Structure 1
Amino acid sequence: MKTIQLFTCGFLALTLTNCQDESVDTSTMDDYNSMANKTLKMSEKMKGHSVYVSSNNSGKLSVFDIQESLEMPSMKSLSLPYMDADGVEYDVNRDAIYQVNRSDKALVTLSHISQTMDGDEIMPTAMGPSTFENGRGSALYNNKVVVVDDVTPGKLVSYHVNEDVISDFRQYNVGFEVWDVHVNGKDLWAIEDVSSNLVYFKDFHNAKSGDLMYSAKVSIEGLIRTHGLDYDAMTDTMVLTDIGSAAVPDDGALVIINEFSNKFMAAMDSGIIPMEDQIRIEGDMTELGNPVDVAVSPAKQAIFVAERAQQKLLIFEMPVSSGNYAPMYSTSVPGASSVTIDF
């Protein structure tokens, strides 16, 4: 064993009764379109074929290679010098993983990740300041990583990141318990923990440290308690997880919302995205109990799930209608807590 050092989303011209006074304009449309075009032009060589899964009890980072097959990926297990980890992000420009190290309450960098072999022990090449207490989900944006601090009331912490240095950037008080986040362009989406609510922050990229007021909040009808989210801007697809009751190991679900921009805007009046605007994967065949994180790949027509109750990585074919679908791939990942992809 060796040791290695290692949304078309401009739609949100909206105001809600509980929004901040600043109006939301449509000028971000050009930013999103520009971002989507850049993504489309990304060299195929830069795109990867790996799925990364954190664990909160094993001291391992699991890496699955799906290049040959979604149904039979190869897998390697990398040892970490800490046991408890959550949010995980891949930086294609640096071939690095940024991971929420809950054991030491710090964000860390794991470098040269594509060069690792099964069984390798990875030592972080950078560790940030300990500025969160209960780190959960994370998101990578513009050489920064924002980490959820799931305390009461909730906080977000943003860091400057690279292979060698992680430094504190900004800290935000969001006023509600938060579990996961997703950054899209200049904006941020957040999961309100212990609820069915999806929260939107306009111009998060420009927000200063301190109290951060949300721009909009909607409830997802039929969802009991959401934890993970992922959004694909090019296809305008939002995917949310529903852990149901945290104490019940087989009542989880996935919620897929196509044409999300229009549906979110339509929810302004009622504050609810109704069941008829959703596709749901749920039932005894799904192996979903407490799906705590999710990554979506419309290009692969697949959804990747960190399933904590069953302690598994699950891969589902992208559904076109609601149903009780078995995953196309299911494998044990002890302590599965977060998932990301590099494609």
Structure 2
Amino acid sequence: MRKTFLTAALLSGLLISCSNDDNDSNRQLKLFTTSNTSGKVSVTDLSMASPMTYSFTVASADADGAYYFSDSDEFILASRSNNKIELYDGVTTAIMNNATSLPLTFASTSDFNNAREIAVYGDKVVVTQDQNAANSNTNKLLVYQKTDSGFMLLNTYTVDFKVWGIHLDGNTMYAVADLTSDVVVFNNFFANANGAIMPTKRVSIEGLVRTHGITYAKKTDTMVLTDVGSATSDTDGGVIVIKNFTTVLANTSNMGTIATANQLRIYGSATMLGNPLDVAYDSAAKKIYVAERLFGGGKVLTFDLPTANVNAAPIASRDEAGVSSVFLLRE
């Protein structure tokens, strides 16, 4: 249920930000989520002692992928129902005014079908298109430039693997190959010309059944992945953490395997992980946030960064119907 009150602490958190991740005061720490089923997005203010979640109706009934531009207070998502990137302005104002919806400011042209994720670097927005009958079974990565008035399509790339999660670390693109246990890497991603492109490197993750969510924290060189296991099971999912990732990746040959010895794993009956579609990681607080799509109809789960392989219950759990993606803002 949408919260309908504000506190002085919340207003302070909304109006003041800090660039020091280690300073727990005067900062923005917010979690944004989308849904495949509800036609809503949510914003949770994590800077409060008791985090509060605000829910807003949007123009997209089915959305995947989320990103928030804090300098302009704009939220974007990849709409699977409208096949567009949609931008919503005035998130902070909507919270302060107890609004129930976010205004759609503008959207991209309809250049994709069956979107799965968004990644952003500067003014570049990348969207994944997963193959289906409506798009002639074509897997794509589309690059847009965000302007003050819209999104301009810059490049369209086709790839020879099913796409889902992506993450941009500057000009390096990390992506998962759906239906496999593989992670792919594109160096100098934005230098590619239109058309078919091949990854610089592809590796398998030992013990992982089916990759979906991916995020990377450069500050601590930590990669976090999710495993949905079987799409029909709500108990076989997991989260995998790989520390010193760039070193581990460099020491793994192309088409090689990253062994379980290089992983920290969260799996088991206590975790509530069945189909974890997306993941965000707070390297300062050492917390992992997961969009769990299947267990209980959809939950946003929070885990402490593990120090060993664990079958651990989440430290926090919140119901969110059809939750499909998660994005963390810390500044």
TM range (shorter): 0.7 to 0.9
Structure 1 pair 156–206 and aligned structure 2 pair: CA distance change class (3 A): same
Residue 188 of structure 1 is matched in structure 2 by: 173
1:73 and 2:58 are equivalent in the alignment: no
* Partner SS, residue 116 of structure 1: helix
Separation (CA, whole Å) in 2 of partners of 1:292 and 1:332:
15
1:281 and 2:266 are equivalent in the alignment: yes
In the alignment, which of 43, 51, 62 is matched to residue 63 of structure 1?
A: 43
CA contact (8 A) 1:82 1:103 kept: yes
4+ aligned runs moved over 4 Å, structure 1:
39-47
The structure with higher relative contact order (CA 8 Å, sep 6+) is: 1
What TM-score do you get using the length of structure 2 for normalisation? 0.88
* Partner SS, residue 75 of structure 2: strand
* Partner SS, residue 77 of structure 2: strand
1:241 and 2:226 are equivalent in the alignment: yes
CA contact (8 A) 1:125 1:163 kept: no
Residue 322 of structure 1 is matched in structure 2 by: 309
* Partner SS, residue 140 of structure 1: strand
User: Percent identical across equivalent pairs?
Assistant: 35
Separation (CA, whole Å) in 1 of partners of 2:75 and 2:27:
15
CA contact (8 A) 1:108 1:166 kept: no
Q: Deviations over 1:8-42 (max 9, x none)?
A: xxxxxxxxxxxxxxxxxxxxxxxxxxxxxxx7699
Residue 244 of structure 2 is matched in structure 1 by: 259
Query: Which structure 1 segments of 5+ residues have no match?
Result: 2-38
Residue 52 of structure 1 is matched in structure 2 by: 32
In the alignment, which of 273, 280, 292 is matched to residue 307 of structure 1?
A: 292
Separation (CA, whole Å) in 1 of partners of 2:327 and 2:183:
20
Separation (CA, whole Å) in 2 of partners of 1:153 and 1:84:
20
Query: Which structure 2 segments of 5+ residues have no match?
Result: 3-18, 132-136
Separation (CA, whole Å) in 2 of partners of 1:160 and 1:47:
28
Aligned residues: 304
Separation (CA, whole Å) in 1 of partners of 2:23 and 2:314:
30
Residue 116 of structure 2 is matched in structure 1 by: 136
Separation (CA, whole Å) in 1 of partners of 2:120 and 2:40:
21
What TM-score do you get using the length of structure 1 for normalisation? 0.85
1:211 and 2:196 are equivalent in the alignment: yes
C-alpha displacement of 1:92: 2.1
Structure 1 pair 222–246 and aligned structure 2 pair: CA distance change class (3 A): same
Residue 109 of structure 1 is matched in structure 2 by: 87
Q: Deviations over 1:229-282 (max 9, x none)?
A: 000001000000000000111110000000111111111177000001000001
Q: Residues 3-22 of structure 1 correspond to what in structure 2 (within 5 A)?
A: none
Residue 122 of structure 1 is matched in structure 2 by: 102
* Partner SS, residue 218 of structure 1: strand
Separation (CA, whole Å) in 1 of partners of 2:25 and 2:272:
34
